């Protein structure tokens, strides 16, 4: 066994919410502000238990809204504290303004989004509309397939965020993961301490060297008192995009380092299952990517060469990596637990965007699935793939709008 590898992990049975809370605890977060919302509430309850019980030395703020939760975290992050919040659906929507703010302010806040459907009408069960709706805000977005990945992703998120100064949301499916128990290797605190260096803020809040952060910024560049031409609003926003584009490198490097220390590597922007010889690729994100592997097994038994591309990092979207992975396929079937109303599923649009301009010429079919917690089984995915194959054979694969797997 590699001398450098962690030796002291132990296996616990944890649901996704507890895995997230453990991830935050092991990351030694210093300020927590989170408002309860189904199905996230156990995360904030568990963290308050850690703080009150003395297991986590942090300031726990019982905020009165999610907007305030992220406002507390952004300002605490400015001071130099490592911060954490968690939410779902309407809570994420309520902090929308602050999501933009945290990204523009370049603060390494980490947020756990327990994916849940958004109203109207009310629905507390799983889909990914909530976090997908926030994909334009400038946050890095990571989707976990299982509870191990939740815990691991949160720890890695701090290392990435604090290196590139971009906030990160770690998303996982409500109920399917948040409330389902599975074995999770929980690393030892001393090993996480070796992995995660302390946070060094880029902001200075010191009366001896006073600075003002995020003032009104003009459209055009403006000269400062020393004669240096400083950014206009657009240049600052360019830098955010640049940071997201460049973060791919850091995400992969941190994933590799994590693998070296903990034995589980995250050195890829997505999970690849049998893509090498796949003619048909299923694309899914979150827990559905695990279901997709079972579907791939079933399809392979029926003689189809099927692989799975399990999207992990949704922002920055790994365009080049995706184009490369789909190079040899004939058909891509994309399952979205979300929809950009008036168009199609988000991952479908993004995959198409990744393929445009590349030499990859592949058929694409999009299915909207699982909204509002509608159960989606491997069998359903198999049927959808078969339906797509048939359409492709009959020459009617391309459709203007996605298919839905529901009872309409």
Partner 1 sequence: MGTRDCQHICGESSPAIGEAGKTGEWRDSFPVIDQEKCLPVRQNKPSCFLCWLYCPDAVISKTIPIQINMEYCKGCGVCAQICPAHAITMVNEEEFCPNGTDEGF
Partner 2 sequence: MKTNAVNMPEREYLLPGSRTCPGCALSLAYRYILKALEGQVIVTVPASCLTVLHGMYPVTSVSVPCVNTPFPSTAASATGLVAGLKALGKEGLTVLAIAGDGGTHDIGIQALSAAAERQNDFLYICYDNEGYMNTGNQRSSSTPLGAISGTTPILGKQQNQKDITAIMEAHGIPYVATANASYPLDLYEKVRRARTIRGTRFIHVFTPCPPGWSFPFGDTIKIGKLAVETGWVILYEIEDGVFRLTSASESIAQRHKLRPLRDYLMEQGRFRSITKEQNDELQGWVNARWKRCLGRAVNS
Q: Which does 165 bind (CB under 5 to 8 A by kind): partner 2, partner 1, none?
A: partner 1
Q: Which is nearer to partner 2, 72 or 334 (CB)?
A: 72
Question: Minimum Å distance from CB 310 to partner 2?
Answer: 35
Q: Which does 265 bind (CB under 5 to 8 A by kind): partner 2, partner 1, none?
A: none
Q: Which does 218 bind (CB under 5 to 8 A by kind): partner 1, partner 2, none?
A: partner 2
Q: Which is nearer to partner 2, 11 or 65 (CB)?
A: 65
Contacts of 3 (CB under 8 A, 6+ apart): none
d(C-alpha 202, C-alpha 90), whole Å: 31
Question: Minimum Å distance from CB 219 to partner 1?
Answer: 13
Question: Minimum Å distance from CB 204 to partner 2?
Answer: 7
Give the three-class secondary structure for 382: helix
Query: Residue 295, class by beta-carbon neighbours within 10 Å (0-12 exposed, 13-18 middle, 19+ buried)?
Result: buried
d(C-alpha 258, C-alpha 265), whole Å: 6
Question: Minimum Å distance from CB 227 to partner 2?
Answer: 11
Q: Which does 64 bind (CB under 5 to 8 A by kind): partner 1, partner 2, none?
A: partner 2
Q: Which does 33 bind (CB under 5 to 8 A by kind): partner 1, partner 2, none?
A: partner 2
Which residues between 105 and 134 bind partner 1 (CB under 8 A)?
A: 105-106
Question: Minimum Å distance from CB 138 to partner 2?
Answer: 15
Q: What are phi and psi of 234, to 5 degrees?
A: -65, -35
Q: Which does 399 bind (CB under 5 to 8 A by kind): partner 2, partner 1, none?
A: none
Q: Using alpha carbons, list the distances in angstroms from residue 104 to 215, 241, 243.
A: 12, 10, 11
Task: By CB under 8 A, tell whether 210 contacts partner 1.
Answer: yes
Which residues between 134 and 173 bind partner 1 (CB under 8 A)?
A: 165
Which positions touch partner 2 (CB under 8 A)?
30-31, 33, 58-59, 61-65, 67-69, 71-81, 83, 97-98, 101, 204-207, 210-218, 222, 224-225, 228, 230-231
Q: Which is nearer to partner 1, 229 or 320 (CB)?
A: 229
What's the distance, CA 248 to chain centroid? 13
Q: Are 323 and 292 in contact (CB under 8 A)?
A: no
Question: Minimum Å distance from CB 270 to partner 1?
Answer: 28
d(C-alpha 368, C-alpha 183), whole Å: 30
Helix 147-164, helix 16-26: angle, nearest 10: 40
Task: By CB under 8 A, tell whether 243 contacts partner 1.
Answer: yes
Question: Minimum Å distance from CB 242 to partner 1?
Answer: 10
Q: Which does 77 bind (CB under 5 to 8 A by kind): partner 1, partner 2, none?
A: partner 2
Q: Are 317 and 309 in contact (CB under 8 A)?
A: no
Q: Which does 106 bind (CB under 5 to 8 A by kind): partner 1, partner 2, none?
A: partner 1
- Pair of tokens at residue 344: 């199609």
Question: Minimum Å distance from CB 215 to partner 2?
Answer: 5
Is the previous residue joined to 351 through a cis bond, with omega within 30 degrees of 0?
no
Parallel/antiparallel/unpaired status of strands 222-223 and 229-230: antiparallel
- Pair of tokens at residue 161: 């965020």
Can you tell me which residue has the tokens 């030499």?
A: 359
- Pair of tokens at residue 59: 């300031």
Question: Minimum Å distance from CB 362 to partner 1?
Answer: 38
- DSSP string across 273-321: ES-TT-SEEEEEETTHHHHHHHHHHHHHHTT--EEEEEE-EEES--HHH
Q: Which of 129, 63, 66, 120 lies closest to 97 in space, CA to CA? A: 66
Which residues between 27 and 46 bind partner 1 (CB under 8 A)?
A: none
Q: Interacting stretch for partner 1, rule CB under 8 A, among 104-112, 288-296, 342-350, 376-384?
A: 104-112
Q: Which parts of this chain interact with partner 1 (CB under 8 A)?
A: 104-106, 165, 202-203, 210-215, 217, 221, 224-225, 228-232, 235-236, 239, 243
């Amino acid at each position: 066994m590699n001398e450098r590898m962690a030796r002291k992990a132990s296996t616990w049975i944890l649901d996704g919410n507890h895995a997230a809370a453990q991830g935050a605890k092991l990351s030694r977060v210093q300020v927590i502000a989170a408002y309860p919302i189904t199905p996230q509430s156990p995360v904030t309850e568990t963290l308050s238990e850690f703080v009150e019980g003395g297991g986590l030395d942090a300031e726990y703020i019982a905020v009165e809204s999610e907007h305030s939760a992220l406002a507390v975290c952004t300002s605490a992050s400015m001071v130099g504290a490592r911060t954490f919040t968690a939410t779902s659906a309407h809570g994420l929507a309520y902090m929308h303004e602050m999501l933009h703010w945290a990204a523009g302010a370049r603060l390494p806040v980490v947020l756990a989004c327990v994916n849940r459907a958004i109203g109207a009408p009310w629905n507390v069960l799983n889909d990914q509309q909530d976090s997908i709706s926030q994909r334009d805000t400038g946050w890095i977005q990571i989707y976990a397939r299982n509870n191990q990945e939740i815990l691991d992703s949160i720890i890695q998120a701090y290392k990435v965020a604090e290196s590139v100064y971009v906030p990160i949301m770690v998303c996982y499916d409500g109920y399917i993961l948040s409330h389902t128990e599975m074995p999770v290797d929980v690393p030892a605190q001393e090993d996480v301490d070796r992995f995660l260096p302390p946070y060094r803020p880029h902001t200075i809040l010191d009366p001896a060297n006073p600075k003002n952060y995020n003032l009104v910024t003009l459209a055009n560049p403006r000269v400062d008192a020393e004669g240096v031409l400083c950014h206009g609003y657009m240049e600052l926003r360019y830098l955010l995009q640049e940071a997201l584009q460049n973060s791919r490198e850091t995400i992969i490097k941190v994933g590799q380092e994590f693998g070296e220390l903990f034995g589980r590597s995250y050195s890829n922007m997505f999970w690849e299952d049998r893509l090498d010889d796949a003619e048909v690729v299923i694309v899914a994100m979150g827990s559905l990517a695990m279901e997709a592997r079972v579907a791939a097994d079933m399809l392979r038994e029926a003689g189809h060469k099927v692989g799975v591309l399990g999207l992990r990092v949704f922002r920055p979207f790994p365009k080049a990596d995706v184009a490369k992975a789909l190079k040899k396929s004939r058909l891509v079937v994309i399952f979205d637990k979300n929809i950009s109303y008036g168009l199609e599923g988000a991952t479908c649009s993004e995959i198409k965007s990744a393929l445009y301009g590349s030499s990859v010429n592949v058929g694409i079919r999009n299915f909207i699935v699982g909204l509002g917690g509608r159960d989606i089984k491997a069998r359903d995915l198999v049927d959808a793939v078969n339906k797509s194959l048939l359409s492709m054979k009959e020459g009617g694969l391309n459709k203007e709008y996605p298919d839905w797997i529901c009872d309409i």
